[in-house]
Structure 1
Amino acid sequence: MTFTTDRSALPYVPELMARPEVEGIALCGSHRQGSDDTFSDLDLWVFVEDSVPLSEAYVLEQMLPATARQEMLFEGRDDTLTPHLVVNLLAEDGVVNIKALHTGVLRKFAEEARPSLDPQFLEDLENYATMHVLHDPHAILLEHRTALRERFVSTTGEWLVPALTARYASLYWRSVYQGYLRAEAACWHHLLGEMVELLAQLEAACDGRLPSPAKWLLSETVTGRAPLVRALSTIQAEIRSVNCAEKPSVLRVYHSLARVESEVLATALPPHGLWWRKVFTERLPNLALLPAHQALQQRAMAAATLFRDLV
């Protein structure tokens, strides 16, 4: 389904705009961020007055035309536990995903939002702060979107970059132990996978943007991110092919990560530099000095030599 800026041409939007209880309509999801394809749903967020008793029956019978065709598909949602209601409708060119929620949900989020790396918070924040407003007669959506952008988007360098960097560094340190010292393959692959995702998130934050939702985080179709995503995809392939017992191969993965780290953090270098790499140049040599780890000396020297020029 191809997005058009003509509101009257979008399925169900004219009918929803005519409803007095509808206080706002926004385009979210892949169509909003320009990564849509022929498989993408059209995601419409419909904000209604707080006094409206939201139910599937109300949305279908009161807010939508009688010709609306609902897709009878259970997606695993339990809307009794969430502050919104989702209805999937079949349109001529695809599926229209209507998320109906009280305007108070947006208001509460904007008022109570605090910096966090919680995935759900980041996804909600990204949606609210970047939603494409289609209908907003009282400027409610614009007011809260502007406030969220000022608090969280224009300040990513102050709160999001340090938080993501700290988490990345922590995983880096742990992963070296699990991969280079212990050869815990499953643990190492898991930690490296998270680190790759964090680098993708950091790229957006360093550029003053909020990270894309998880399913688009490593997509080349998101504007301007293709070179980074290709680099991370190459590293992912390296990670999958590495046997943790082959220590030089493990080191090469970290060397590949170092090139991306340096590029991503070029404009947002932490106060103590890329300190996590000192696990190779300082911690491993120190461990090798201990009587219990004398067998580590050769490996510690190889790692320190490789990374000395990068620290």
Structure 2
Amino acid sequence: MTTTARCIEHLTRNVPSVEAITLCGSHRQGTSDIYSDRDIWVFCANDEPISEQLATTAFLPAGADCEVLFEGRDDTLTDHTVINVLTDTEVLNLKILHTRVLTAFSAQDPTLDGQYLEDLENYTTMQVLHDPTGVIATHQGWLRHHAVDTIGDWLLPPLASRYASTYWRSVYQGVLRTEEHAWRHLATHLIELLAQLGFAQAGVLPPPRKWLLSPRILTALPDGAGLTALLDQLHCTSTTNPDAVLGFYRALAAVEDALLHTGELYAGMWWRGVFTERITHLAHHTGRPDLLALTQAAPRPRTAP
């Protein structure tokens, strides 16, 4: 029996306060590689006084080689603690937390906050290894009903609004102000938001940010390769070349057309109006006819069929 299996067996058989055990992280997602640790979350009874000392003495089988991760906490009662167990084949990352952490999270209203989205994806997709009373199954069922099955209602509208706002700001920084680093930062965020929109519109929670733009994750989207190509194009585009910057927005428009439906939410791709309306106004206001010529090659909002 491997050390990992021995640790899990010890937790299920010899630690009465353990209520459930789940597999999280890249091993659950199918994105693991030789550098990945195995993320195991151990849910304990709420009255169990969790501490690093308890975790290393009572939660591990005899002889397990472990390294405590320092996360700025002293050895006092906490909602969770994390330890690394060095096994014969891998690093076993044990996160030990109270079940009330999951209960409190489930009681939250869905939000666009990045940490909420990442936690929601983790909690709803974690693989159950031990759940004798069904506590994980109950919470996962509620979260799927409350937040996952309804992402079209609560996630898509604010995501689209944030995308539109970032789009306009990026055009100002890249086309009008030619702020190289500011534009590249905003454009990168724009690609991230577009990927999230693609997943959400497909009815799937966006993956964690560190995997969001991975080519092996993006293959699940209709034009995932287009998003990867956008990143490559962005990295070699300079704001000193206006035609190249507009070329990025034209390529972005093509990916938008492939990923986003033409329903009411995206009617006209209204954010493209920054070229056809706002910059046109600014060209007249500032006496810069060159802006008018520049925007002739810019993406246009869609017209009604």
Counterpart residue number, 1:14 = 9
Counterpart residue number, 1:155 = 150
Shift of 1:10: 3.4
The structure-2 alpha-carbon separation of the partners of 1:7 and 1:267, relative to structure 1 and needing over 3 Å to count, comes to farther
The answer as to whether partners of 1:27 and 1:133 remain within 8 angstroms in 2 is yes
For the pair 1:308 / 2:304, whether they are aligned, the reply is no
Distance in 1 between residues matched to 2:208 and 2:238, nearest whole Å: 31
For the pair 1:294 / 2:287, whether they are aligned, the reply is yes
1:164 corresponds to which letter in structure 2? L
Structure 2 counterparts to residues 27-106 of structure 1, below 5 A: 27-71=23-67, 74=70, 77-79=71-73, 83-106=79-102
Distance in 1 between residues matched to 2:263 and 2:202, nearest whole Å: 9
Shift of 1:306: 3.7
2:280 to 280, 285, 289: 285
**What is the TM-score when the length of structure 2 is the normalising length?**
0.91
Shift of 1:226: 7.0
Distance in 1 between residues matched to 2:36 and 2:66, nearest whole Å: 17
- Structure 1 residue runs of 5 or longer lacking an equivalent are 1-5
> What is the DSSP-based 3-state SS (H/G/I as helix, E as strand, rest coil) of the residue aligned with 1:46?
strand
The answer as to whether partners of 2:199 and 2:206 remain within 8 angstroms in 1 is yes
The answer as to whether partners of 1:196 and 1:232 remain within 8 angstroms in 2 is yes
Distance in 1 between residues matched to 2:194 and 2:166, nearest whole Å: 12
> What is the DSSP-based 3-state SS (H/G/I as helix, E as strand, rest coil) of the residue aligned with 1:242?
coil
List, as ranges, runs of 4+ consecutive aligned residues in structure 1 with deviation greater than 6 Å. Answer: 6-9
The answer as to whether partners of 1:34 and 1:222 remain within 8 angstroms in 2 is no
Distance in 1 between residues matched to 2:171 and 2:37, nearest whole Å: 41
Q: Deviations over 1:68-91 (max 9, x none)?
A: 1113554xx224696310011011
1:177 to 148, 159, 172: 172
1:118 to 113, 117, 123: 113
1:51 corresponds to which letter in structure 2? D
The answer as to whether partners of 2:151 and 2:203 remain within 8 angstroms in 1 is yes
> What is the DSSP-based 3-state SS (H/G/I as helix, E as strand, rest coil) of the residue aligned with 1:52?
coil
**What is the TM-score when the length of structure 1 is the normalising length?**
0.89
Shift of 1:230: 2.7
2:129 to 111, 126, 134: 134
Q: Deviations over 1:22-51 (max 9, x none)?
A: 100011101111111111111000000011
Percent identity of equivalent pairs? 43
Shift of 1:115: 2.0
The structure-2 alpha-carbon separation of the partners of 1:159 and 1:267, relative to structure 1 and needing over 3 Å to count, comes to farther
- Structure 2 residue runs of 5 or longer lacking an equivalent are none
Distance in 1 between residues matched to 2:5 and 2:195, nearest whole Å: 32
> What is the DSSP-based 3-state SS (H/G/I as helix, E as strand, rest coil) of the residue aligned with 2:155?
helix
> What is the DSSP-based 3-state SS (H/G/I as helix, E as strand, rest coil) of the residue aligned with 1:239?
helix
1:128 corresponds to which letter in structure 2? Y
RMSD over aligned CA atoms reads 2.3
Structure 2 counterparts to residues 206-217 of structure 1, below 5 A: 206-217=201-212
The structure-2 alpha-carbon separation of the partners of 1:121 and 1:24, relative to structure 1 and needing over 3 Å to count, comes to same
Q: Deviations over 1:163-192 (max 9, x none)?
A: 111101000001111110111111101100
Shift of 1:256: 0.7
2:287 corresponds to which letter in structure 1? Q
The structure-2 alpha-carbon separation of the partners of 1:152 and 1:226, relative to structure 1 and needing over 3 Å to count, comes to closer
> What is the DSSP-based 3-state SS (H/G/I as helix, E as strand, rest coil) of the residue aligned with 1:245?
coil
Count of equivalent residues: 300
1:261 corresponds to which letter in structure 2? E
Distance in 1 between residues matched to 2:117 and 2:130, nearest whole Å: 24
> What is the DSSP-based 3-state SS (H/G/I as helix, E as strand, rest coil) of the residue aligned with 1:137?
coil
Distance in 1 between residues matched to 2:105 and 2:50, nearest whole Å: 19
The answer as to whether partners of 2:269 and 2:301 remain within 8 angstroms in 1 is no
> What is the DSSP-based 3-state SS (H/G/I as helix, E as strand, rest coil) of the residue aligned with 2:280?
helix
> What is the DSSP-based 3-state SS (H/G/I as helix, E as strand, rest coil) of the residue aligned with 1:148?
helix
The answer as to whether partners of 1:206 and 1:267 remain within 8 angstroms in 2 is no
The structure-2 alpha-carbon separation of the partners of 1:237 and 1:247, relative to structure 1 and needing over 3 Å to count, comes to same
Q: Deviations over 1:58-107 (max 9, x none)?
A: 11211210121113554xx2246963100110111110000000011111
Shift of 1:304: 3.5
